[in-house]
Structure 1
Amino acid sequence: MARRRRRDERVRMLDIDAWAPKTEIGKLVKNKEIATIEEIFNRGKPILEPEVVDALLPELEAETLSVSPTQRTTDSGRKMSFRVIVVLGDKKGHVGIGVGKNDEVKPAIDYAMLDARKNLISVKTGCGSWECKCGTPHSIPREVRGKYGSTEVVLKPAPKGLGLAANSVVKKVLTIAGVKDIWSFSRGSTANVYNMAMATMDALNSLNSMKPQPGDKV
């Protein structure tokens, strides 16, 4: 049975003071020449150092989506290890999925959180439901679809107060991203936690490549 951390757990931050950046983006962040994570996204640069995220988003939360035991054969016999999938974000429009592997669960979770930081994306929230005219960013601006492997996830704007009508994995990703109301449908390999999480990320990320339309309510 998968072991789970407490829901929406506060993330232990990395030591920014002791951080010696190795990348151009890292050095700019350390020197406070970049003040927001959006500046990095706008430059089209990847986040290669997890400390970049902690320096710009100090209030991260995370939840473990799954902990799966795996076995591999070595010269001394079979050895048990763990594969962990986590979702990490600030509930304010930023979210990432990470995977970590280790012989023990705790280090695997730590590795997954480092990986999630480097996979962070920005999520455009809005009020795109025809049933809602509140104008607040509680949902998403329009319907989007995401796909990963054989799994497809559809996200539709929902009226304020509906909540997250979605698969449990999709719901956890949206919660950490800061989306409060959604209609969601999924098809394909819906029992695969990683596929579901990544298809949801693909759907959310597609909002960033869409040009604003006259009917959008952001």
Structure 2
Amino acid sequence: MSKSEQRSRPPRKEPEQVWTPRTKLGNLVATEKITTMKEIYENGYRIQEAGIIKKLLPGIKTEVIDVGIVQKQTTNGEYTRFKALVAAGDENGWLGIGQGKSKQMRIAIEKATNQAYLNVSPVKLGCGSWECRCDQHHSVPFKVRGRGGSVTVEVIPGPRGLGLVAGGNIRNLLKLAGLKDAWTKSTGSTNTMTSTSRAVLDCLRQTFSQG
């Protein structure tokens, strides 16, 4: 095969695996007896299958937030594993974050992605800005604060057109959750993405617990 033919070939897509429910909730979703995420949270069901999230939130996206190496000294020598942090959100009021570790980077990312699906939580969107006062769901309904480790993140409602005033990683998480306009404040070691992402998720969960 010539080099020009190789360049023109489309990228190979991995075949999508067919989801086979393994839990009672999974069967209810597969048979369409439960058709929305709202029903699951109102009834207090525990989600144990990523396929449930993929079916009920078909527009959900994932993003690798951070990757790294974990080294541990043992009697047999140095033990090295990869770790990955992944966020999952539909950009319309749902966000989850997961972490995975493995000897292979690809498997670590897969584990983190699966965990992110299982940790998806609702985010209440609204317009709590006194400068805007519209009825659209482009920001948070009121100021919220969350904490993860030594990191504290505060999200403040912003008027339409403001955009997301935040650092790159925090901005990406807020966008995945569905926010379009907001101010943010953060304290602590925000370079530690595990703590920062947990702080953001805890912060956005406050939109429901306080509302």
TM-score tier, shorter chain, comes to 0.7 to 0.9
- Contact preservation (8 Å) 1:13, 1:54: no
Equivalent residues in 2 for 1:89-104, closer than 5 Å: 89-104=89-104
Equivalent residues in 2 for 1:166-177, closer than 5 Å: 166-177=166-177
Equivalent residues in 2 for 1:126-137, closer than 5 Å: 126-137=126-137
Aligned to 1:112: 112
Residue 79 in structure 1 maps to residue 79 in structure 2: yes
TM-score by length of 2: 0.88
Aligned to 1:6: none
C-alpha distance 173-14 of structure 1, shift in aligned 2 (>3 A) = farther
Aligned to 1:9: none
Give the unaligned 5+ runs of structure 2.
1-14
CA shift for structure 1 position 79: 2.9
Residue 142 in structure 1 maps to residue 154 in structure 2: no
Letter in 2 for 1:123: V
Cα root mean square deviation, aligned: 1.6
Give the unaligned 5+ runs of structure 1.
1-11, 212-218
CA shift for structure 1 position 74: 4.5
Residue 21 in structure 1 maps to residue 22 in structure 2: yes
Letter in 1 for 2:152: E
Aligned to 1:8: none
Question: 1-side partners of 2:120 and 2:202: how far apart?
Answer: 12
Aligned to 1:4: none
Structure 1 window deviating more from structure 2 (195-204 vs 45-54): it is: 45-54
Aligned length: 197
- Contact preservation (8 Å) 1:156, 1:183: yes
Larger Rg, first or second structure (1 or 2): 2
Letter in 1 for 2:89: G
1:160-208 deviation per Cα after TM superposition (whole angstroms, max 9, x unaligned): 1111111222211111111111100011232211111111111110111
Question: 1-side partners of 2:59 and 2:144: how far apart?
Answer: 28
C-alpha distance 13-202 of structure 1, shift in aligned 2 (>3 A) = farther
Question: 1-side partners of 2:88 and 2:71: how far apart?
Answer: 27
Percent of aligned positions that are identical: 37
State the SS of the aligned residue for 1:125. coil
Question: 2-side partners of 1:130 and 1:75: how far apart?
Answer: 61
Aligned to 2:4: none
Aligned to 1:44: 44
Question: 2-side partners of 1:108 and 1:150: how far apart?
Answer: 25
CA shift for structure 1 position 76: 4.2
State the SS of the aligned residue for 1:101. strand
Deviation beyond 3 Å, 4+ runs, structure 1: 73-76
State the SS of the aligned residue for 1:35. coil
CA shift for structure 1 position 137: 0.6
Residue 124 in structure 1 maps to residue 124 in structure 2: yes
1:100-133 deviation per Cα after TM superposition (whole angstroms, max 9, x unaligned): 1111111111110000011000111111101113
State the SS of the aligned residue for 2:91. coil
- Contact preservation (8 Å) 1:126, 1:135: yes
